[in-house]
Amino acid sequence: MNPPKPPSPPEAQGCGNRRTFVRVAAGGVGLCYAAAFAYPVYRYLESPVEKSASLAAVSEVSLPEAHKLAPGTALMFKFGSRPALLIHHPDDEWVALIAVCTHLGCTVQYQGDQDRIYCACHGGVYNARTGGNVSGPPPKPLERLEVKRTESAVVVSRPARTA
């Protein structure tokens, strides 16, 4: 492990070069060795992240029975790994949004009496039809999902452009 001393260094410069080479080489080997340990540990710790990412990659969720949702009420469901909100407006418009506040990630709620989506954490308010940020700290609108109604279910899917 000691940098080996060259036999009787003739020139200071040559000696320095050889020593530098050994140091750099030893450091490089050491780094590779450390990486060989760090990589499995990283992958090990990252395993559930990978799983939840593959869950989040879902592009369509079918909600049986959701077509019976009363007007003026909403339903929470899981879209992949994230909470989402299905709103049945009194005028029969159906809206689905990812229910994660764009400010700091709290789960938002539908307040039918005030016709708005509200985040209790820091008072963010969103439009209940477009998901647009109306007031409070949220920097951008909620992510919108597409809604299709069938005979027996409501099918929510990721809009084509972001999928």
Partner 1 sequence: MKNFCSSVYSWVDERLGLAELQALARHKTVPWHAHSFWYYWGGLSLMFFVLQAVTGMLLLVYYRPGPEAYESVRQITYDTHFGWLIRSLHSWGANLMIAAVGIHMFSVFFMKAYRKPREFGWWSGLGLLGLGMGFGFSGYLLPMDELAYFATTVGLDIPSGLPVIGSKMAALVRGGLEVNEHTVQRFSTLHVIVLPLLFLPLLGFHLYLVQRHGNAVPPSEESKPAAQRQAIPFFPHFLMKDMVMWLIAINLLAVMAAIYPWDLGPQADSLKPAPVGIHPEWYFMSQFQVLKMLGHWVPGKAGEFAGLGLFTVALVAWMLVPLYDTSRQAGRRARNTTVFGLLLLLATIATTIWGYLAL
Contact in structure between 125 and 142 (CB atoms under 8 Å): no
Contact in structure between 82 and 100 (CB atoms under 8 Å): yes
Sheet holding 116-119, edge to edge: 109-111, 116-119, 124-127, 133-135
Binding to partner 1 (CB under 8 A): which residues in 48-107?
50
- C-beta of 26 vs 56, nearer to partner 1: 26
- Least CB distance from residue 5 to partner 1, whole Å? 14
* 44-52, 54-62, 125-133, 135-143 -> range binding partner 1 (CB under 8 A): 44-52
- Least CB distance from residue 38 to partner 1, whole Å? 11
Contact in structure between 84 and 156 (CB atoms under 8 Å): yes
- C-beta of 26 vs 57, nearer to partner 1: 26
* Structure tokens belonging to residue 135: 């007031």
- C-beta of 46 vs 93, nearer to partner 1: 46
CB burial readout 22-51, b (16+ within 10 A) else e: eeeeeeeeeeeeeeeeeeeeeeeeeeeeee
Residue 2 touching partner 1 (CB under 8 A): yes
CA-closest candidate to residue 100, choices 154, 56, 142:
142
Residue 32 touching partner 1 (CB under 8 A): no
Out of 5, 23, 43, 78, the residue judged to bind partner 1 by CB under 8 A: 43
Residue 44 touching partner 1 (CB under 8 A): yes
Residue ranges binding partner 1 (CB under 8 A) = 1-2, 40-41, 43-47, 50
